[in-house]
Amino acid sequence: MAMRPFLLLPEILLFTGGLVVLLGGSFLPRERQWVARLTAAGSLLAAAAAAAVELPGPAKMAMEGTFTVDVTTGVVRIVAAFGTLVVLALVSDEIAGSARESETYALLLFATTGTLVLGGADDLLVVIVGFLLASVPLYGLIGMALTPGGAEAAMKTYLLGAIFGILLMVGTTLLYGVAGTTAYSELTEPLSDAPAGVLAAGVVAVLAGLLFKAGGVPGHYWVPDAAQGAGGAAAAFVTTVPKVGAVVAAYRLIAALPDVLNWPLLIGALAVGSMTLGNLAAYWQTDPRRLLGWSTVSQVGYLLVPVAVAGRSDLALPSLLLYLAGYTVTNLAAFGVTTALSERRDLSSYRGLGRSHPLLGASLVVALLGLVGTPPTVVFVGKLTTATAAWDGGHAWLAVVVLLNTLVSLFYYLRWIAPVYGREPYERTSAGAFTPLRWSSTTAVLTAAVSIGLGIGAGLLWQVVA
């Protein structure tokens, strides 16, 4: 089987772009760092274009069969590139002209490259490479805030990343020990005869590593702190883009396993734990970014629902890809509002936003109701199709849990929406008036519009991912 490295053109473009930005930024004066930003944006656009060209074609194997280029990989590439482009717009308000501008762009490109590697990995060793490439830049991105909260979040993420990275490697070692291979295409038969205890331990350890990257139970502890302590753009990135590759990697693994243990029950339990814990913890939060951090944990639970029925329902993979695309734009819209109003770190401080800045207030409402799963946003279609996939796959109880958790999540999102259209303005002085940052507010409005647009055109999107 040939190497065929040009099938990895999007990954090559992003990684090369990161190197160019990192090295070239060292020679650019601070007032001309925008060149590095344009270079990063160009790399992302080129990677997305290359993925779009390859998207309609048949599945192909690259790197001696360890990397798959198919519709799933193409969707991961396009969604991750789009998400990072949005983050580039958000970060422009925060670090333009700063001493660490080009380094931030490089870290974003490297982490996105790792996400793409995870999305196409068809071998456990490649999963490890993607995990490390997607994880290590996150520690720097979170710590860029240069605040006590940012330092604490970076340290917590680093320590948990090390622990769950080790678990991922231990799991890979166990599976290799009983199967004699790490390639997914060759795992099924030898694992069918493997000791059940070793097989279960290996799979759980690998899933634990991937769920750290996705931000779900049991690897979720770092997410709320990172969302609260990091800069707005970094928080938007770490809670959105990496999970695109991590959840798809989990799906590919589960789909490759022999049906000798109750994998749907295992993934279903993780899904229920993530969505329930995330929703319950978010209810008590007063910091909007920490609330979104716990919301991220709950969203991973919904994303795991189609993973639970991988190979048992034809709706599983398309619903997962649709949900990932919808969650990406919707979550970035919500973080875009918090970045535009970076000084507002309490839900009550958003009182009157809908009156003073109608478009920004409406964008926040669209994003929050979108995360609930309210029509006509695209997340509504994603939740509906994932629940249908669970039902179709013989796990109706999981669809019921999705519905119940969706109802629970509505209450804490309404706690944030209510002040936005409160009767009495929270701010009465010119010094305390809302002054949204231009790039972030524009980005929030546009991504909220995309969330509605994708929801209305979900039928066309379904044809692409199905």
Mind listing the pLDDT tens digit for each residue in 134-167? 999 999 999 988 889 999 999 999 999 999 999 9
The helix (H) or strand (E) run that includes residue 450 is helix 438-456
CA distances from 52 to 55, 77, 173, 233, 464 (A): 5, 9, 35, 26, 11
Nearest-5° Cα angle at 288, 287 to 292: 120
CA distance 424 to 435: 18
pLDDT (0 to 100) of residue 273: 97
Is residue 365 within 8 Å of residue 417, measured between CB atoms?
yes
**Which residues are CB-neighbours of 327 under 8 A, at least 6 positions away?**
240, 299, 303, 371, 379, 382
Residues of the chain with pLDDT under 50: 426-431
Radius of gyration of the chain (CA): 21
CA distance 27 to 41: 19
CA distance 222 to 160: 7
394: left (phi over 0), alpha (psi -120 to 50) or beta: left
Residue-wise pLDDT for 271-299, tens only, equals 999 999 999 999 999 999 999 999 999 99
pLDDT (0 to 100) of residue 429: 39
DSSP alpha helix (H) spans, 350-429? 353-356, 358-372, 378-392, 396-420
C-beta atoms surrounding 137 within 10 Å: 25
Q: First CA to last CA across the chain, in angstroms?
A: 27
pLDDT (0 to 100) of residue 428: 47
pLDDT (0 to 100) of residue 1: 57
Amino acid, res. 421: Y
pLDDT (0 to 100) of residue 425: 54
CA distance 63 to 230: 36
Give the burial class of 233: count Cβ atoms within 10 A of its Cβ; 0-12 exposed, 13-18 middle, 19 or more buried.
buried
Give the burial class of 402: count Cβ atoms within 10 A of its Cβ; 0-12 exposed, 13-18 middle, 19 or more buried.
buried
| CA 246 from centre of chain | 8
Q: Give the SS3 label for residue 81.
A: helix
pLDDT (0 to 100) of residue 391: 96
Q: Where are the domains of the chain?
A: 1-261, 264-466
CA distance 221 to 51: 33
CA distance 33 to 102: 6
Strand partners, 123: 183
264: closest CA among 327, 216, 306, 222?
A: 306
Amino acid, res. 172: T
231: closest CA among 38, 22, 440, 47?
A: 440
Is residue 172 within 8 Å of residue 202, measured between CB atoms?
yes
Residue-wise pLDDT for 229-262, tens only, equals 999 999 999 999 999 999 999 999 999 999 999 9
66: closest CA among 137, 129, 111?
A: 129
Q: Give the SS3 label for residue 257.
A: coil
Is residue 465 within 8 Å of residue 118, measured between CB atoms?
no
Residue-wise pLDDT for 95-105, tens only, equals 876 778 899 99
Q: Report if pTM > 0.85.
A: yes
pLDDT (0 to 100) of residue 199: 97
Nearest-5° Cα angle at 382, 404 to 417: 65
CA distance 49 to 41: 12
CA distance 162 to 141: 16
Amino acid, res. 390: A
382: closest CA among 458, 296, 311?
A: 458
CA distance 294 to 16: 34
Q: Is the peptide bond before 218 cis (omega within 30 degrees of 0)?
A: yes
